[in-house]
Amino acid sequence: MCQRFDEWANEIKEYCDKNNLSFEKAKTMSQSSNKTMLLLQYYDPNSESVKRGMGLLDETPMPAVLWVTKNGDKLDFEQTEYTQKYLAVN
């Protein structure tokens, strides 16, 4: 996990619990961050391009699943069109 995810893990878990999202799935997502934001992205290790050896050079981008932004003392969460598909509790 990236440093930002680790720092914000309690708040992310709380958000996931309140919104019927899986924190366990969130922990396994690809993560990009800077000082004030964290982006969780879906990466399919079984995609056809990975099987062909292309890996992250896949022509299909990794969809943004959840944006987390630091706003003063709190975190703001923004779901995307992929949030339910990849993070919903089954």
pLDDT over 70 at 80, yes or no: yes
pLDDT over 60 at 46, yes or no: yes
Our CA angle for 69, 74, 79, nearest 5°, is 40
Average pLDDT (53-75) is 79
- Residues pairing with 60 in the sheet: none
48 CB-near residues (< 8 Å, 6+ apart): none
85, exposed or middle or buried, with CB in 10 Å at 0-12, 13-18, 19+? exposed
Q: How far apart are CA 34 and CA 2, in angstroms?
A: 10
Overall pTM surpassing 0.95 (yes/no)? no
**40, 53, 37: which is closest to 1 by C-alpha?**
40
Instruction: Report helix, strand or coil for 3.
Output: helix
Average pLDDT (50-63) is 59
